Structure 1
């Protein structure tokens, strides 16, 4: 499988989630299952079934996190530089229609969170930005129609 590019902060956040799920959530769920088993007949025990479902979801997420972290290619974006936009860049844009300014950091898929200003390397806007420089204009096909942006600033922080 291919390596997954990731920032140091993204790797740390996923590692912390894995640790929390393994060392806190897992024992809590096991305790809940044990308590539900003590209530008797498992076929009609909603608490037992809910705890088993929660255990299944938690274990699935643990496996997913372990896979992602095993394939992580951690990149220190503070050591990157230049004028062109690439992975890890923090980009200030202005919408050419509304004059609204937005700031995004281009990150790996597992750490993307658009509401926090972190967009996935594979998102349409990030793909349009890669290789561009300050002053360049881009056009992105969005669900509500095409959007045009101008790159105001590129930094690696």
Structure 2
């Protein structure tokens, strides 16, 4: 798995989610299994099978999250080139089709939240902006067609 860069807050959110899954998630899975086991013959107990399957999904999610956290690195913003769009860049764009001005921060995939103006560096728009500088025009292909954005400003 590739190394992904996170803000300190984003990595802490992942660690908190993992802790919650390990404590509350596992406790709930064990409770559901015990409840299903109390209902009798396990060979014909659909609730028990469902509880075992849910427990398997939980453990898989925990395992994947542990892997993500194990490969996570905190981004040191002091060494980043502020003239180009990189992860953690704040970018002010102008959509050349409708002149709408947009502000985005490029973040790791798990931190993306469009409502908060955070887009993934792995999204089509994120990929299309990487490496560009203020004054550049980015032509980005999205499912709806091609978009043209003028990069007005890049900051941290």
Cα 1:99/1:122, change in 2 over 3 Å: same
Cα 1:53/1:113, change in 2 over 3 Å: farther
1:117 matched residue in structure 2? 117
State the Cα distance separating 1:141 from its structure 2 match: 0.9
State the Cα distance separating 1:153 from its structure 2 match: 2.6
1:46 matched residue in structure 2? 46
User: For 1:43, what is the secondary structure of its paired residue?
Assistant: helix
Contact 2:82 2:89 in 1 (8 A): no
Query: Does residue 66 of the first structure (1) align with residue 66 of the second (2)?
Result: yes
The aligned runs of 1:104-143 (5 Å cut-off) are 104-143=104-143
Query: Does residue 82 of the first structure (1) align with residue 82 of the second (2)?
Result: yes
State the Cα distance separating 1:84 from its structure 2 match: 1.8
Greater mean deviation of Cα atoms: 58-67 or 114-123: 114-123
State the Cα distance separating 1:80 from its structure 2 match: 4.6
2:23 & 2:146 partners in 1: Cα distance? 46
State the Cα distance separating 1:93 from its structure 2 match: 1.6
**1:95-136 deviations in whole A, cap 9, x for unaligned?**
111222332221223333444432222322222212222232
**1:33-79 deviations in whole A, cap 9, x for unaligned?**
01110110223323222222221111111000100110111114477
Structure 2 gap segments, 5+ residues each: none
Cα 1:78/1:34, change in 2 over 3 Å: farther
**1:1-25 deviations in whole A, cap 9, x for unaligned?**
5422222222111111101100111
- TM-score normalised according to structure 2 size: 0.87
Greater mean deviation of Cα atoms: 89-98 or 70-79: 70-79
Q: How many residues align?
A: 156
Higher RCO (C-alpha 8 Å, min separation 6): 1
